[in-house]
Structure 1
Amino acid sequence: MAEHQETGSSEGTPAADAYPRKILEYMEGFLISKTLFSACELGVFDVLQASEPPLSAEEISQAVGASLDGTQRLLAACTGLQLLNTHQENRRVLYSNTEQASVYLTRSSPVSLYESIQYSSRTIYLGWHYLTDAVREGRNQYEKAFGVSSNDLFEALYRSDEEMLKFMQLMNSIWNICGKDVITAFDLSPFNIICDVGGCSGALAKHCTSAYPGCTVTIFDLPKVAHTSREHFVTGADQRISFHEGDFFKDTLPEADLYILARILHDWKDERCIELLSRVYKACKPGGAVLLVEALLHEDGSGPVTVQLFSLNMLVQTEGRERTAAQYAALLAAAGFTGVQHRLTGKIYDAVLGHKVT
Structure 2
Amino acid sequence: MNAADSPTPAITMLRLLGGYQISQALFVAARAGLADQLLDGPIPLAELATATGLRPGPLARIVHALAGEGVFALDAGTGLVRLGPLGRTLASGLPESVRNIALMWMDSHYRAFGELWGTAETGRPAAEIAFGEPLFDWIGQDPARVRAFSAAMTDFARAIRHHSLDAVELDGARTVVDVGGADGTVLAVLAERYPHLRGTVFDLPHVVTAAPEVLRAHGVDDRITTAGGDFFVEVPPADSYLACFILHDWSDEKAGLILGNIHRAADATDARLILVETVLDEGAAPEVASLLDLTMLGVLTGRERTRPEWRDLLAASGFRLDRIRTTPGPMCVIEATRVP
TM-score calculated relative to the size of structure 1: 0.85
Among 292, 305, 315, which residue is 2:275 paired with?
292
SS of the residue 1:323 aligns to: coil
SS of the residue 2:173 aligns to: coil
What is the CA–CA distance in structure 2 between the aligned matches of 1:273 and 1:108, rounded to whole Å?
Answer: 32
Matched, 1:130 2:115: yes
Among 301, 305, 308, which residue is 1:323 paired with?
305
CA contact (8 A) 2:197 2:223 kept: yes
Aligned-residue Cα RMSD (Å) equals 2.2
* Other-structure match for 1:304: 286
CA contact (8 A) 1:265 1:320 kept: yes
SS of the residue 2:239 aligns to: strand
Say if 1:295 and 1:286 are closer, same or farther in 2 by CA, change over 3 A: same
TM-score calculated relative to the size of structure 2: 0.89
Identity across the alignment (%): 28
Matched, 1:21 2:11: yes
Say if 1:226 and 1:186 are closer, same or farther in 2 by CA, change over 3 A: closer
Q: Deviations over 1:35-73 (max 9, x none)?
A: 212111122111112xx4521111111111111111111
CA contact (8 A) 1:325 1:352 kept: no
Matched, 1:210 2:192: yes
SS of the residue 1:276 aligns to: helix
Matches within 5 A, 1:1-358: 19-49=9-39, 52-87=40-75, 91-102=77-88, 104-146=89-131, 148-150=132-134, 154-230=136-212, 233-235=214-216, 237-238=219-220, 239-251=222-234, 253-284=235-266, 285-298=268-281, 304-356=286-338, 358=340
- Cα deviation for residue 261 of structure 1 reads 1.4
* Other-structure match for 1:12: none
Q: Deviations over 1:204-240 (max 9, x none)?
A: 1122112322212211111111223335x44363222
Letter aligned with residue 78 of structure 1: L
CA contact (8 A) 2:292 2:304 kept: yes
Query: Bigger shift: 192-201 or 311-320?
Result: 311-320
SS of the residue 1:109 aligns to: coil
SS of the residue 1:20 aligns to: helix
SS of the residue 2:117 aligns to: helix
Unmatched 5+ residue regions in structure 2?
1-6
Letter aligned with residue 232 of structure 2: F
What is the CA–CA distance in structure 2 between the aligned matches of 1:354 and 1:108, rounded to whole Å?
Answer: 34
- Cα deviation for residue 110 of structure 1 reads 4.1
Letter aligned with residue 294 of structure 2: L
What is the CA–CA distance in structure 1 between the aligned matches of 2:327 and 2:80, rounded to whole Å?
Answer: 39
- Cα deviation for residue 290 of structure 1 reads 0.6
- Cα deviation for residue 173 of structure 1 reads 0.6
What is the CA–CA distance in structure 1 between the aligned matches of 2:211 and 2:277, rounded to whole Å?
Answer: 22
CA contact (8 A) 2:70 2:84 kept: yes
Unmatched 5+ residue regions in structure 1?
1-16
Aligned length: 329
